[in-house]
Amino acid sequence: MAELLGLALRARKVAWGYRAVREDLRRGRAHLVIVTEDASPRLRREFEVLCRTKSVPLVVWGTKAELGLALGKPPSGVAAVEDPGFARLIGQVVGSGQ
């Protein structure tokens, strides 16, 4: 999972952080949203509703620290994958529990 996120980031196909992910959802650029296991219940609920409204899959994965490390960024509770191919691969990896 972390490797795929790193590849997507290098391809400039990842948005991270609350504002950037909300904007991606608003503009229709997000193909997958990742919320961390240690994100606040309010943040998780908010993105569940937004993703359901926009028909964008949401997965729960890792911690804020793990997400930040995978992206080479400070810890964050949410990220969006902007490429449909990367989104599909990451969704499959999370679904398989790897």
Q: What is the CATH number of the domain that holds 87?
A: 3.30.1330.30
pLDDT band at 98 (very low <50, low <70, confident <90, very high): low
Are 23 and 65 contacting, i.e. CB atoms less than 8 angstroms apart? Answer: no
Question: Which residues constitute the domain of residue 63?
Answer: 2-96
> How far apart are alpha carbons 11 and 75 in whole angstroms?
20
Condensed to tens digits (0 to 9), the pLDDT of residues 45-94 reads 999 999 999 999 999 999 999 999 999 999 999 999 999 999 999 988 88
pTM of the model: 0.92
pLDDT at 94: 82
Q: How many independent structural domains does the chain possess? A: 1
> How far apart are alpha carbons 19 and 34 in whole angstroms?
14
Helix (H, G, I), strand (E, B) or coil at 35: strand
Q: Give the Cα-Cα-Cα angle 30, 34, 37 (nearest 5 degrees).
A: 160
pLDDT at 3: 87
Are 98 and 34 contacting, i.e. CB atoms less than 8 angstroms apart? Answer: no
